[in-house]
Structure 1
Amino acid sequence: MDRALVLLNMGGPRNKEEFEMFLRNMFNDPNILTIKNDFLRSIIASLIVMSRKNSAWENYLAIGGSSPINKLTEKIVEKLSYSMGNYYVTWAMRYTPPFASQAVKEIEAKGIKDIVLLPMYPQYSTTTTKSSVEDFMAACEGKDFNITVIDRFYKNEFVNLSIVYSIRDTLLEQKSSEYHLIFSAHGLPQKIVDNGDPYQKEIQEHVQILSEVLDYCKIPFKSISLAYQSKIGPMKWLTPSLEDKLKEYKGEKVLIYPISFTVDNSETVFELAIEYKEKAHEIGIIDYKVCKCENDSQRFCEALEELVRGYK
C-alpha cells in the first residue's frame, strides 16, 4: 500500500459516557461555538452540556442507545479496503473515538507518506469540513506527510446518481409524481453564513443539480424544495425550517432526503425518521417517508472510489 485514505466525520456516541464526550468536544470546537476566548467558550460549553445531556440522551435511547454512524463507517471502510487495494483505508471522527491521532499512528506504522483526506460532508462548511480537516492536520504536526484534501463532492456525478437511485428505491412501486420531495439539510446559525461560510450556497446548488439529474432519469415529483433541520438555541438560523415546510403539505405525500449527510446518525434516524414523522402526522400529511443516507451501499462505495481515484 502506497497511499492512505482517511474518511472524516463528526462521530457519534456508543453509550451515555461517550455522549457527554461528544457534546463537550463539539461545543468546545471554535468552529461550532464561535467564541474567540477559549476559557469563556469552555464555560459556556460546560453549561450547554449540563443542560442538554440528560434530555438529549433520551433521543439516543429511542434509537437503541448509540449512534449508527460508527458501525456504518466501519462497513464503508471495509468495502473500500477490499476494492481499493493500493490504499490503506481508515477513519477518524471529530468528537468521539477513533480520533485523528489514532489514524495518524496507524498510517505512520505502515510507513505511508501520501494521505487523501475525505471529509464525508458533500458540501463545505467551516463547522464540518474545516473543523475535521484542521483536527487531522493538528494530529499530523511534525510528521512528514503529503496530504490531499477532497473538501467537497456535491458536484460529483457518481455520488449524485447514487443519491437519485436511493430516492427512487425508497418509493419502491409508488409513483414519485404523487410525492413532494424535500431535501433536508442540517441548519446553521445565519451569522456563520453571513461571515462567509459557503454551505448554504452549495446546498442550494446541490438541490439544483439533483433536480436536474432526477429530471434526466425521468423521476418526477409534485414539487422539489429545500428545508433546514436541527435548530438549537434562540439565534436566527437558516430558513425555511423543516417543520415550517411540512406545514405546506397537509393532505399530501412527502419524501425527505437528508442532503447534507452521507452516513446515518441521530439527526436522520431519530430527528427525521421519528420526531418529524410525528409532526408530519399531526400536520395531516398522509404519507411521510425518509430516505436512508447512502451509508455503505455498493453504489455509494463505488462512487467514493471513483471520486478518490479521479480527484486531481
Structure 2
Amino acid sequence: MHFKNEVEAVDALHQSFNNIKTEIGKVVIGQDDIIKSVLIAIFSNGHCLLVGVPGLAKTLLVQTVAGVLDLNFNRIQFTPDLMPGDIIGTEILGEDRHFKFVKGPIFSNIILADEINRTPPKTQAALLEAMQERAVTAAGQTHILPKPFFVLATQNPIEQEGTYPLPEAQLDRFMFNVQLNYPSFNDELTIVKNTTGNNVPSISKIISAEEIQYFQQLIRSIPVTDNVLQYAVKLVAQTRPHTELATAQVNQYVAWGAGPRASQFLILGAKCHAAISGKYAPDIEDVQAVAEAILRHRIVRNYRAEAEGLSTEQIIKNLF
C-alpha cells in the first residue's frame, strides 16, 4: 500500500474501518461497541477477551470478522481434557522413520478460544505463550505463527463449577476485556427476524492480511502529545494502592493495580481509536474511550469493595 503521507493513510484506515463495520453489521446486529473494540484490538496488534452469557453471538462475531478481513480462522473449543498438543501441534513419526511436526489449529490468523476457562492451566499456558511470543516451541524447534495473529477468547460468567479462571498475570496478556450485554428489545426483534427465515446475508472481503499489517505499523507511527502520554500513565499509576499517585478510593478498595502493559495498551488503543474516528493524533477522550476495557481485568478489588458492591467499572470511572 502506498500513500503520499500519514494523513492519507489515516484517512484510508478510517474509511476501511467504516466499511468493515458496515459489512459486519449485516450479520451481527446491535453490537457496535463490541465490534469497535475487536477491530481496535486487531489494528493495535492485541488480543481480546469476550465475557458474556451464551447466545450473544460471540462465535458468530469472530467468524464474521475473519470473513470480512480475509483471514484464516480456527475455532478451538476448550474442554477439561484438552491438551497443549491439541492446540500447538505434535511430533509424529513419518513413513521415512523421521519425526515431523504436524501443526495444530493455533497456526491461523484469527483464533477463537471458546470458553477458555474450561481447560486446565497447563493448556491455558500453551495458548497464552503463543499469544505472547507469536511462536510455539515443539521438540526444541521454534515455529513462527502466521501474521497477523489475533486471539479472541470467550468466557462464560455464569457457570463457574468445573472451571479454571485465568490468573490475573495471564489475563494481562489480553489487551481488552470486553463485556457483552443482552441486546435491546428492538435489536433482538431484528435478530430473530433475520435469523428465522431463509435469507442468509452474504458478506464481502474488505481488507487483506497485508493491509492489516500495514495499518498496524501506521498506528504505531501516529504521534502522541506529552499531555496525553502523561494522562495515560498517570491514569494507570492511580490504580496502584499505597503508591504516590493512588487515590483515596483506590487505597480503600483495591488490592492490586494495573502494570506498565496497561499504559502501553492505553496509548496504542487511543492512537487506534483516534485513527478510526478520522483524527490524526489521539487526545484525552481517546484514552478514556478505551480505558475501561483495558483496565477492567488489571485491577483486583479487595474484600471491602466486594462486600460493599463496588464494581471495578465504578472505580475506573471515578479515576476520570
Whichever of the two has the greater Rg, that structure is: 2
TM over 0.5, yes or no?
no
Structure 1 length normalisation: TM-score? 0.25
